[in-house]
């Protein structure tokens, strides 16, 4: 393919060489450059590929795409046979060039993008589960994994780099997928990882303060505007009308608009919400009204899961009219590491959840308190080499909302686990709840199970879907589901 064909949807300027250059492959990782490639210079938080131009040309790149001015001494040293292309944004160029390179695979799929602070993962799995059951082969790209037919690929980022997104779309189309549902992070939107194509459906779950700081978003307005960008990139938007930032999300939207929520103004709304309690399981039920009318029951606790199921139904009704199918799939749904109830004992409920900051932990614990359990027992730690404020805040939230907090290790990384625990305890002491510390997470889980009382709800927070523990740069196997099964055998449960 000629370079100019790669650049068909990109505004560019030829700085050196010519755009008739024949290109073998598109590359953005300098370590993967082969003779005949075009290399796109991406600037990261800690590195800038513009500094590697001579290196990638020496490795055989016949073109480089840049967004900043190149020093004249470097430009003069580059052969006239190498095309130097300047664009406004290399990230946007990479997205558009990737879509072209893979033959615009998004046009062969119905694309569903889910954005919001909370609920993206659960909602994405719910949507996929319903569509799969309805006979619509659906791929998934998200925080936990990417699913392409029978292939499962662990995820490094919620939203991968644009080249990877297009590569996955291509694989999905070739594997017979008819649709794809993906989590769209604010970082992914800000960094143009989902540029180069138009989503068929864009979904807004909710918005609250998160991902603000160094190497993320400079402030809340930046975070919010990044989320809202999705609704200038999709054909049809489906919004949570109850969220206080709903109007901020829709004010610049270029898509058609549909809403869900508890509000009487929502197109799809939940009424008569009730809490459900069974042996070892807690859940929720409600009546669905508006564009669809039916009862809904789910064996996952919390009002936030009313919103998650509303979101899924609002999307899936565009694909199937089989309401019984939707009801059954949502009743049976289980999402790894998201309020994931694990069968241990009929006398108490044990769940694994990814809550790893104060906001998500508070939301979860407030939801669980509505069930009036005998006790809430919360087990968690905090990641090393991360903000100490998160430790204080999580400790305080847990102590105020739990009857017992078990402080343990998470991913200590390059910090000493006890130092992290000591920080958490500072926050714990701001509340009135009882607490203990058990540095070994496995032993902490065993203690929680062994001492579980009738009517307890035990929360293992922070690890969620993760199946490892990171210590001094190395990841060691640690899957809480495996640990629980081992402990059950030890305790003859």
Digit-coded pLDDT (tens) for 250-263:
999 999 999 999 99
For residue 24, what pLDDT band results from cuts at 50, 70 and 90? very high
Structure confidence at residue 187 (pLDDT): 85
For residue 279, what pLDDT band results from cuts at 50, 70 and 90? confident
Q: Return the CATH superfamily for domain 104-332.
A: Mur-like, catalytic domain (3.40.1190.10)
* Pair type for strands 474-477 and 234-240: unpaired
What mean pLDDT is reported for the chain?
A: 94
- Confidence check: pLDDT of 40 > 60: yes
Q: What is the mean pLDDT of residues 152-169?
A: 93
Structure confidence at residue 125 (pLDDT): 96
Q: Return the CATH superfamily for domain 340-490.
A: Mur ligase, C-terminal domain (3.90.190.20)
- Confidence check: pLDDT of 399 > 60: yes
Structure confidence at residue 128 (pLDDT): 98
Task: Say how far apart CA 42 and CA 68 lie, in whole Å.
Answer: 10
Q: What is the mean pLDDT of residues 338-352?
A: 93
DSSP assignments along 198-262, one per residue: -EEEEEE----S-SBSTTSBSSHHHHHHHHHGGGGSEEEEEEETTSTTHHHHHTT--SEEEEEES
For residue 439, what pLDDT band results from cuts at 50, 70 and 90? very high
Structure confidence at residue 449 (pLDDT): 98
Structure confidence at residue 407 (pLDDT): 98
- Confidence check: pLDDT of 288 > 60: yes
Q: Where are the domains of the chain?
A: 3-100, 104-332, 340-490
> With contact defined as beta carbons under 8 Å apart, do 245 and 207 qualify?
yes
Task: Pick the most confident of 181-195, 296-310, 406-420.
Answer: 406-420
Between 277 and 45, the higher pLDDT residue = 277
Q: What are phi and psi of 123, to 5 degrees?
A: -60, -45
Structure confidence at residue 280 (pLDDT): 74
Q: What is the mean pLDDT of residues 115-133?
A: 94
**∠273-274-280 over CA atoms, to 5°?**
140
**Three-state DSSP state, 187:** helix
- Confidence check: pLDDT of 12 > 60: yes
- Confidence check: pLDDT of 217 > 60: no
Coarse DSSP helix, strand, coil percentages of the chain, rounded to the nearest 5 percent: 35, 25, 40
> With contact defined as beta carbons under 8 Å apart, do 21 and 2 qualify?
yes
Q: What is the mean pLDDT of residues 118-144?
A: 95
Q: What is the mean pLDDT of residues 102-121?
A: 95
Q: Which helix (H) or strand (E) holds 286?
A: strand 281-290
Structure confidence at residue 213 (pLDDT): 52
* Pair type for strands 256-261 and 268-278: parallel
- Confidence check: pLDDT of 214 > 80: no
Task: Say how far apart CA 297 and CA 312 lie, in whole Å.
Answer: 14
- 3-100 shares its CATH topology with 104-332: no
> Nearest-CA neighbor of 181 among 232, 113, 247?
113
3-100: CATH number: 3.40.1390.10
């Amino acid at each position: 393919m000629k370079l100019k064909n790669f650049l068909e949807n990109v505004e560019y300027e030829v700085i050196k060489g010519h755009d008739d250059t024949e290109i073998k492959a598109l590359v953005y990782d300098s370590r993967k450059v082969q003779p005949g490639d075009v290399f796109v210079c991406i600037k990261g938080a800690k590195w800038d590929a513009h500094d590697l131009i001579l290196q990638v040309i020496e490795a055989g790149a016949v073109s480089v795409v840049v967004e900043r001015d190149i020093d004249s001494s470097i430009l003069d040293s580059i052969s006239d046979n190498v095309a130097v292309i300047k664009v406004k944004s290399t990230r946007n160029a990479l997205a558009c060039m990737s879509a072209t390179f893979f033959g615009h695979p998004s046009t062969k799929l119905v694309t569903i993008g889910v954005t919001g602070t909370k609920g993206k993962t659960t909602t994405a799995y719910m949507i996929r589960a319903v569509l799969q059951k309805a006979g619509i082969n659906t791929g998934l790209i998200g925080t936990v994994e990417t699913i392409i037919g029978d292939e499962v690929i662990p995820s490094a980022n919620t939203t991968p780099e644009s080249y990877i997104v297009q590569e996955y779309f291509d694989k999905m189309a070739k594997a017979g997928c008819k649709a794809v549902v993906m989590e769209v992070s604010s970082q992914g939107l800000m960094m143009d990882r989902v540029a180069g194509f138009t989503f068929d459906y864009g979904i807004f779950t909710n918005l609250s303060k998160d991902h603000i700081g160094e190497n993320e978003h400079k402030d809340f307005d930046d975070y919010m505007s990044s989320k809202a960008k999705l609704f200038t990139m999709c054909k049809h938007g489906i919004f949570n009308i109850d969220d206080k930032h709903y109007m901020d999300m829709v004010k610049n939207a270029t898509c058609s608009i549909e809403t869900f929520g508890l509000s009487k103004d929502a197109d799809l709304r939940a009424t008569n919400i009730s809490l459900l309690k069974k042996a070892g399981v807690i859940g929720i039920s409600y009546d669905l009204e508006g564009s669809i009318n039916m009862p809904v029951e789910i064996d996952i606790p919390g009002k936030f899961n009313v919103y998650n199921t509303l979101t899924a139904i609002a999307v899936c009704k565009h694909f199937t009219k089989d309401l019984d199918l939707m009801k059954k799939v949502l009743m049976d749904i289980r999402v790894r590491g998201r309020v994931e109830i694990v069968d241990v004992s009929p006398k108490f409920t044990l769940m694994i959840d990814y809550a790893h900051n104060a906001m998500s932990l508070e939301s979860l614990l407030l939801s669980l308190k509505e069930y009036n359990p005998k006790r809430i027992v919360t087990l968690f730690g905090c990641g090393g080499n991360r903000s100490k404020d998160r430790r204080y805040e999580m400790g305080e939230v847990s102590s105020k909302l739990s009857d017992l907090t078990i402080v343990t290790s998470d991913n200590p990384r390059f910090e000493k686990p006890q130092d992290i625990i000591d920080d958490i305890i500072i926050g714990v002491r701001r509340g009135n709840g009882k607490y203990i510390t058990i540095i070994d997470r496995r032993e902490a889980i065993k203690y929680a199970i062994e001492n579980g009382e009738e009517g307890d709800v035990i929360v293992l927070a922070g690890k969620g879907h993760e199946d490892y523990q990171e210590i001094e740069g190395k990841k060691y196997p640690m899957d809480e589901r495996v640990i629980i099964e081992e402990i059950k055998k030890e305790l003859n449960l």
